[in-house]
Structure 1
Amino acid sequence: MTFTPTRRSLLGAAAVSVPALALASCGGGEAERNADGKIELTMAAWAIATTPEFEVIVEGFEAAHPDAAITLKEYSADDYDTQLTTDLSANSAPDVFPLKNLEPYFYYQSNGALADLTDQASALREDGNIDVDLLDLDGGIYALPYRQDSWVVYYNKEMFAAAGIDEPDGSWTWDDFADLAEELTSALAGTDYRAKGAYMHNWQSIVQSFALAQTEGADLASGDLSYLAPYYERLLAMQDAGSTETFSTVDSQSLSYQAQFGTQKAAMMPMGTWYIGTLLAQRESGDADEFEWGMAPAPQQTTGAGPITFGDPTTLAINAELSGEKLEVAQSFLDYIVSEDCSKALAGIGITPSYFSDEVVDTIFSLDGMPDDELSRTAFADTEVEAENPIGEFTNDIVTILEDTHSEILTGSSPVDEALTKAEEQLENEGLTA
C-alpha cells in the first residue's frame, strides 16, 4: 500500500516533494512482547513535558490493561504533521497517532494511512454523551476523539461589576456582543482597570469559523464567501470603536490571548475551552491574576438562534497496516480514550475531554478556580458544536487562502467585499470549489 500526497499536502506545497510513502506492514498473528512480557504499542505525541494529557491517557489505559504498554514517540508540536508524514515515508510511523484537528483528516484517510473504525464507532453514535458524527467521511469513521474543545466567551465578572453592567445571560447576538464591548470599554475607563471591553485574537477562526458554523447554508467548499461579510464588518467596527485591540496591534506586538484575559486587559474574550486548564494553571503560578470569571455561550448571528459554536475534535487513529494482536490492543486503547473513565481523568487536569456525562462535567467544575454558575456549565457542555475544519479534499487549501484574506481585511489593505471577491476568484481558478 502506498501513501501518496495529494495535489497539495496538508501543510502546503513544501511537503508535496515528499515521495510516495510506503506504509510498513506490521504482519499478523502474535505480536512480539517486550522484556516485561507486554504487547507494546508506539504512540505519537508532542510537547510531552508541557502536555500532560498524553501520559494521563497512557497511564489510565495501562492500569486497566496490565498486559499492554504504550511508548510515546515525541514530535515537534509545530511540525507534527510534516514529521509524521516523513515517518510514514520511512516505514517508521507509530502504531497509533493523534490528529490535532480535522484539517488533515481527509488527507490521511484518502491516502490509506488510517484504519477503518466504523464498526468500533457504531455504538458511540447512539451515546448522547459523545459526538463522533464530525468524523464521518462518506459514512466511515477513521479516528476517535479523546478531546472535544469548543469556543465560548470567557468574561471577567469583577469587571462587569465595576462597570455596573449586567453579566451576559447567553441569549445574545454578535451585535449585542459588540455593543457590550463598547459599553464596557467606556465604563471601565472610569475605574482602576485599564482594559478593553473585548479581546479578539488574530486567528482567522475567530471570524471565519463562527460565520461558517452559524450561517444557514454556508459551505466552505461552495466558493461563495458572502456569509463572511457581516462578521468582518462587525469586527472592523469594533476595532474602529476601540473596544478591542486591532489586528495589526495583536500581530505586531505578538499579544498573547492568555495575558490579555488572564491579567485583566480585556473583560470578554472568545476562545476555545482548552484555555480553561491554562488559566487555572497560570492563576496558581502567578502568571494570571485571581479574579471571578465565567463562561457564556458564543453569541449568535440572529436572535433566538443556537447556541451554535465550533470546534474540532482531537482524535486518535490507528495505523492502517496494524494487524493481529497489536491491532486488538490498539482497538482496546481507542475504546479507552472514548470512555467515561478516560474523560474523567482528563477533566481532572483541566482538559476538555470527548465524553460529556454529568460526572465528567462535575469533575472539571470541581477544580479549584472554576466558576460555579449554570451559564458556565451550559457554555461548556450544552451547545451545538460544528466543525472548525469541515472534512473535504481541499479544506487545507481553502483555509490557507482565507488566512491571507483575513489579514487583508483586518489590516485595512482591502475592503471586505473586494477581498472576498478576490478569494472567490482564486478558489475557482485553482479548482477548489465544489
Structure 2
Amino acid sequence: MKLTTVLAAAFLASSAFIATVQAQEQVNLTWQMWGDEKDAPLWQSLADLVTAEYPNITVTPQISGWTDYWTRLPVLASSGQIADLVAMQSMRMPSFYSILEPLDAHFASDGFDVSAFETSIIAGLGHDGTQYALPYDVGPWLVYYNRDRFAEAGVAEPALDWTFDDFKAAAQKLTEGENYGYAVQAFDFVAGPVALGAEYFNDSNQFDVTNAGYAAAVGKFVDLVAVDKTSPVFASGAGAITGSGRFAAGNAAMYIDGPWVLQQTKDSVDFNIGVAPLPRGEGESRFITAGSGWGISATSQHKEEAYKALQVLTGPKAAEILASAGRALPGRLAEQKFWYDVAAKDVAGTHEVLDYMFAHSTPFRLNEYWNEFENLITQYMPLALNGDSTTDAVLADIQNQLPF
C-alpha cells in the first residue's frame, strides 16, 4: 500500500475521532424554575434523567420563589443572563413568548408529536399559532370542599353541574360565627365569572371588564362576601395562600384552586376533602384550564442540546416522577394515571370531576396585558368586598388602568 494512501486513511480516521470527541463535548445547561427548597431534589431527579439519556449533557436547576421568579425573569432576559431552559406558565406566555425559541422547526426535524399532551395546555403554551414550550402539568380551577362540614350541616355534596345558586346556598348554610362557608380569593373573579358564562374580553381580544355580563358575574361573587358574609375579605395584594390557609385550618368549608395543590392540601388537613367543578350559570358548564412547562431561551448557545433536554424533562418518565410525587397532574395524557393513583387517592370523585371539566373547557383568553389585569384584580377587588366601593366602580377603575 502506498504511503500516501496510508497517511490519507490515518488522516480520515483521526478526523472522525476528533469529530466524535467534539460531538461529545460536555455541555452544561442551566434551567430556571420556581419552587421551594423542598422541591429541589425532585427537579434534580428530572435533570439526572437528561444526563442518563445524554451523558454529555448536564442540567443545573436554578430555583427561586414564585414572586421572585417573575420579577427577575425580564431582568435576566434583558441582561443576557437568562438560563438555557426556562419555566413558563401558560397565563404569562403572551408577555414572555419573545424570550423563547420557537419549537415548531425542532418538531419538524424529528417528527415530534404533541398529540400525547392535553390539547388545552399545548395551546396555552403557544402564541399566535407557534409553540414556545412543552407542558409538565395542566388543570382547571375547581372547588375544594370540606366533606365533614358538609355532612355536619346536612348539605348535599356538589353535583357535577351544580349552579351558582347551589353554591351560594351551601356557602350560606355552612357559615356560622367565625366559620365561613367559603374563602374568596382574587382569581375567583376570573375563573368564577367565566364558569358563569361571562367574558372579560371583547371580540378584538381587548379587555372589556365593564361589560354587563362580566360585571353581573363578578357581582355575584362580591355579594357572597359583602352582602351574605359567607367569606372573609382577602387583603389587597394577597395570594392564594390566604384561602388555602383558611381551608386547611377548618375555618372555611370551600375555596377555589387547581389540582396542582391537591396533594399538599390533602396532607395539610385533618378532615375529609372533596373536589367539585366551579358552579355554572344558566347555561352549560365551562371552565378555563392552565398549566406550566419549559421552553428554550431564544439566546441559548446550546439550543440543540436544550431541545434534547426539553424532550426528556417533559417526557413520559419525567411525567411519571412528577405525578407519583403528587407534584403535577401531567400534561401528558398517558401519565395522568400516576397522579390519580397518588395525589387523588382517598379524594372521591376526582377523576370524574376532572374528566367532566376537561370535557367542558373553554379557551383561556389572554393577551400581553394579562399580568396587569390580574394584579389590578388582586389590588382593587377588596374595595368592593368590604363595602368601600361598588363592583361597577372597581371594575371601571381597573378598566381605566388597562391599555386599550
Deviation by residue 1:196-223 (Cα, 9 ceiling, x = unmatched):
222223x2x1112332465355416243
CA contact (8 A) 1:295 1:380 kept: no
Aligned with 2:130: secondary structure? coil
Q: Indicate yes or no: 2:155 matched with 1:165.
A: yes
Query: Among 49, 63, 66, which residue is 1:74 paired with?
Result: 63
| Counterpart in the other structure of 1:221 | 206
Q: Which residue of 2 aligns with 1:316?
A: 294
Which residue number in structure 1 is paired with residue 14 of structure 2? none
**1:40 pairs with 18, 24, 28, which one?**
28
Cα distance change on mapping 1:31 and 1:268 into 2, 3 Å: farther
Match of 1:339 among 282, 307, 315: 315
What percent identity do the matched residue pairs reach?
20
Is residue 309–residue 383 contact of structure 1 (8 Å, CA) maintained in 2? yes
The within-5 A match list for 1:342-381 is: 342-357=318-333, 360-367=335-342, 370-373=345-348, 375-381=349-355
Distance in 2 between residues matched to 1:33 and 1:73, nearest whole Å = 26
Structure 1's unaligned 5+ residue stretches are 1-28, 283-287
Q: CA deviation at 1:152?
A: 1.0
1:265 to 1:387, Cα distance in 2 relative to 1, 3 A: farther
Deviations 1:85-105 (A, max 9, x none): 3333333221111124422x2
Counterpart of 1:64? Answer: 53
C-alpha separation in 1, matches of 2:94 and 2:343: 39
Q: CA deviation at 1:327?
A: 1.9
- Of 79-88 and 134-143, more deviation after overlay is shown by 79-88
How far apart in 2 are the matches of 1:173 and 1:124?
A: 38
2:247 paired with 1:261: yes
Task: Name the CA distance, whole Å, in 1 between partners of 2:127 and 2:87.
Answer: 17
Q: 1:423 to 1:369 in 2, by over 3 A?
A: closer
Q: Which residues in structure 2 correspond to 1:22-421 (within 5 Å)?
A: 38-52=26-40, 53-103=42-92, 105-110=93-98, 113-120=99-106, 124-127=113-116, 129-130=118-119, 131-185=121-175, 195-201=179-185, 203=186, 205-212=187-194, 214-215=196-197, 218-219=200-201, 221-226=206-211, 227-239=213-225, 240-247=227-234, 256-282=242-268, 288-289=269-270, 291-303=271-283, 305-306=284-285, 308-322=286-300, 326-357=302-333, 360-367=335-342, 370-373=345-348, 375-384=349-358, 385-386=361-362, 390-421=365-396
Separation of aligned partners in 2, 1:343 and 1:272? 18
- SS in structure 2 of the partner of residue 406 of structure 1: helix
Aligned CA RMSD, in angstroms, stands at 3.2
List gaps (5 residues or longer) in structure 2: 1-18
Tell me the amino acid that sits aligned with residue 40 of structure 1.
Answer: N
Cα separation, partners in 2 of 1:406 and 1:228, compared to 1, 3 Å: farther
1: CA distance, partners of 2:233 / 2:312: 44
Q: 1:72 to 1:30 in 2, by over 3 A?
A: farther
* Residue aligned with 1:169, SS: coil
Please state how far the C-alpha of 1:316 moved relative to its aligned partner: 1.0
SS of corresponding position for 1:172 = coil
CA contact (8 A) 2:287 2:362 kept: yes
Whole-Å Cα distance in 1 between the matches of residues 273 and 96 of structure 2?
A: 40
Structure 1 pair 208–159 and aligned structure 2 pair: CA distance change class (3 A): same
User: Which amino acid in the other structure matches residue 198 of structure 1?
Assistant: Y
Cα distance change of structure 1 residues 56 and 299 upon mapping to structure 2, 3 Å threshold = farther
Relative to structure 1, the CA distance from residue 138 to residue 158 in structure 2 (aligned partners, 3 Å threshold; closer, same or farther) is: same
Q: Which amino acid aligns with 1:179?
A: A
Q: How far apart in 1 are the matches of 2:319 and 2:189?
A: 30
Q: Distance in 2 between matches of 1:222 and 1:151?
A: 21
Structure that is richer in helix per residue: 2
Partner of 1:20: none
Deviations 1:330-358 (A, max 9, x none): 1122222333322221111112233353x
Aligned-partner SS, 2:256: strand
Distance apart, 1:426 and its partner CA: 4.0
Is the Cα–Cα contact under 8 Å of residues 183 and 231 in structure 2 kept in the other structure? yes
Give the whole-Å Cα distance in 1 for the aligned partners of 2:353 and 2:37: 30
* Native 8 Å contact 2:329 2:339 kept in 1: no
Structure 1 residues 366 and 394: alpha-carbon distance in aligned structure 2, compared to 1, 3 A threshold: closer
1:116 alignment partner, SS class:
coil
Q: How many angstroms does 1:277 deviate by? A: 2.5
Q: Answer whether contact 2:143 2:254 (CA < 8 A) is retained.
A: yes
**Residues 217-276 of structure 1: per-residue CA shift (max 9 Å, x gap):** 54162435323322332223322323222346x989x97333322232222221122221
C-alpha separation in 2, matches of 1:196 and 1:410: 15
Could you say what secondary structure the match of 1:167 adopts?
coil
Q: Give distance in 2, aligned partners of 1:217 and 1:76.
A: 31
| DSSP-derived class of the 1:147 partner | coil
Summarize the Cα distance change of 1:355–1:315 in structure 2 as closer, same or farther, 3 Å threshold.
closer
Q: How many residues align?
A: 373
Partner of 1:423: 398
Deviation of 1:405 after TM superposition, in Å, equals: 3.7
Write the distance in 1 (CA, Å) between the matches of 2:96 and 2:183.
35
TM-score scaled by structure 2?
A: 0.80
Change (3 A) 1:215 1:172: same
- What amino acid is the match of 2:136? Y
Structure 1 166/128 Cα, relative in aligned 2: closer, same or farther at 3 Å? same
SS of the residue corresponding to residue 238 of structure 1 reads helix
1:102 match: secondary structure: helix
1:132 shift after superposition: 0.5
Go from structure 1 to structure 2 and tell me whether the alpha carbon gap of 1:128 and 1:360 turns closer, same or farther (over 3 Å shift): closer
